[in-house]
Homo-oligomer: A and B are copies of this chain.
Amino acid sequence: MPLDDSGALHAYGVLGIGEVRPGDDVGRVLAEALAARGTSELHDGDVVVVTQKIVSKAEGRLIPVDHADPAAKRAVVEAESVRVLRRRGDLLISETTHGFVCANAGVDLSNVEDGWAALLPVDPDRSARRIRAELRRRLSVLVGVVISDTFGRPWRQGVTDIAIGVAGVAAVVDLRGTLDAGGRELVATQVCVADELAAAAELVMGKDRGVPAAVIRGVPTGWLRDGSVREEVVRGHAADLFR
């Protein structure tokens, strides 16, 4: 441990979350998994990062699809897309109804039962608000919530986790107008802290360990405000150079 812990961040996976099924309440599932390990597990000001997968399952965002039938999979992906940007073989890069640009419209065939696909939540910011309210009701803690998903990026190999919804925590923190170390005003320094929180959480969740949630402690209190991925992160067509 550092001698001076100020500004330090601590992240750990939430263990003990079992299979989530349609109709489950994610807030309840999280609260029970955390309570099983002692109430000190969650503090006011913590940020809870939850993977899209269990949110989609709980919200019943599952549709039947034959995993062995490429045409069936393609039809599901196209139904979730409002615009196709690129197509190569089975891979489709498209824009979803939310305005996200990602592979296969976020439709997920892994970690779901055979014969089913998981779609993105209809409104991930709203999903995050519900989880936050349920954690507050059950555990009497006021936390931030980030719903994360795994996206690829152009120009760089490897996927990273990003935020598709937030509640009680900023998606983007605007540092414009603050001074750099040399006393000059910083320009264009709007940091997408929600994506960075999702990335940090992925490091402790581990795709192969099946941990679908993490807690991050030590987030600056100034970031704990009403946030929205849809309003702060999704870039409009006019401002986008690659659409």
Chain A residues with CB under 8 Å of chain B are: 1-5, 7-13, 15, 37-38, 40-41, 85-86, 88, 93, 100-101, 110-114, 150, 153-162, 171-172, 175, 178-182, 184, 186-193, 195-197, 199-200, 202-204, 206-211, 215, 218-220, 232-235, 239-243
Q: What's the Cα separation between A159 and B233 when bound, in Å? A: 10
**Residue among A2, A40, A159, A190 having the largest count of chain B Cβ atoms under 10 Å:** A2
Contact of A180 among B15, B93, B202, B208 (CB under 8 A): B208
- Provide the residues of chain B in CB contact with A101, threshold 8 Å: 154-155
Count the copies: 2
Please give 19 more A-B residue pairs, beta carbons under 8 A apart, in addition to A3-B38, A181-B210: A2-B37, A4-B37, A85-B241, A88-B241, A100-B155, A111-B181, A111-B184, A155-B242, A158-B190, A158-B192, A158-B232, A161-B196, A180-B210, A196-B202, A196-B203, A197-B203, A200-B203, A203-B219, A204-B218
Q: What's the Cα separation between A190 and B4 when bound, in Å? A: 35
- Provide the residues of chain B in CB contact with A155, threshold 8 Å: 100-101, 234-235, 240, 242-243
- Provide the residues of chain B in CB contact with A192, threshold 8 Å: 156-160
Q: What's the Cα separation between A181 and B159 when bound, in Å? A: 19
Q: Would A10 and B9 be within 8 Å (CB), given that A182-B111, A202-B196, A242-B154 are in contact?
A: yes
- Provide the residues of chain B in CB contact with A203, threshold 8 Å: 9, 193, 196-197, 200, 219
- Provide the residues of chain B in CB contact with A9, threshold 8 Å: 10-12, 200, 203-204
